[in-house]
Amino acid sequence: MMTVLFAVSMLLTSCYSYTSVVGNGAQGNSKTTAWNHYVIYGLAPVGVSNSKQMADGAENYTVHTRQSFVNGLVSAITFGIYTPTTTTVTK
């Protein structure tokens, strides 16, 4: 039983995350954050943020999209019907 619990806990430790660098990447510490809205375990997008618009015309910026703890908690509470992610643009 302890082996199964350990294996399950190891499988659930990481959060969904990816980073994209545009141009030379972020040149400062100015950050803009927005939630992306998906339904049915993330299969159908309902409202997705526009990173280019969030960069507000900057040519060099970094986009980091992840499923944070709060996003995962909301997804768990709704049994995966609503699955949000968070996008942060640093310029």
What one-character DSSP code corresponds to residue 1?
Answer: -
Count: domains in the chain: 1
- The whole-angstrom separation of Cα 38 and Cα 83 is 5
Residue with tokens 């545009």: 22
How many C-beta neighbours within 10 Å does residue 84 have? 20
> Is 9 among the domain residues?
no
Structure tokens at 68: 């944070």
Would you say residue 78 lies in a domain? yes
Per residue in 43-89, pLDDT (tens digit) is: 899 999 999 999 988 899 999 999 888 898 899 899 989 999 999 99
Has residue 2 been placed in a domain? no
4 domain residue, yes or no: no
Longest dimension (CA), the chain: 54
Amino acid (1-letter code) at residue 31: K
The range of the structural domain enclosing residue 81 comes to 15-90
Asked whether residue 5 is assigned to any structural domain, the reply reads: no
In a domain, 8, yes or no: no
- pTM of the prediction? 0.78
